[in-house]
Amino acid sequence: QVRLVESGGGLVQAGGSLRLSCAASGSIWHIKSMAWHRQAPRKSRELVARVTDRGDTDYGDSMNGRFTISRDNAMVYLQMNSLEPEDTAVYYCAADVVVVGRPFKTYWGQGTQVTVSS
C-alpha cells in the first residue's frame, strides 16, 4: 500500500503565502515523480507543479511564477506566494511510485483545502 497525506492548507488573505506538504509512505521502492494538482468548484482538475526524480520541474499555465515545488526524498512541498482568490481550490498530492516487481503507478492523496479571501 502507498499513502499520500497532504498538510498545510487553510485560509489566507489575498497576497499571502502558504506552504503545502505531502508525505508518501508505504511499500515504496522508488518515486519517479511527485506533483500537485488542484480542482476548484465548477472547474476541471489542473496541474499545479510536478518534480521528477531527476529534479526537473514543470508548472501549470496559471501559476505565473508564484509557486515553487521542491522535493526531499518522500516529501514534496509547494510554496505558494502572492495568493489570489482564483487560487482557491482543493489541492491534491500525486506521486508516480514504483513498487517492487511492478511498473510505476500514480497514487493520489485525499486533498487539502486552500481558501484565499479577497
pLDDT at 63: 83
pLDDT at 1: 81
pLDDT at 101: 84
**Distance from chain centroid for Cα 32:** 14
pLDDT at 64: 79
What is the distance between the alpha carbons of residues 37 and 40, in angstroms, rounded to a whole number?
A: 10
- Return the SS3 of 41: coil
Position 40: which residue type? A
How do the pLDDT tens digits run along the chain, 118 residues long? Answer: 899 999 999 999 999 999 999 999 999 999 999 999 999 999 999 999 999 999 999 999 888 799 999 999 899 999 999 999 999 999 999 999 998 888 889 999 999 999 999 9
- Return the SS3 of 86: helix
* Torsion angle (degrees, nearest 10) of CA 25, 104, 44, 18: 40
pLDDT at 100: 83
pLDDT at 86: 95
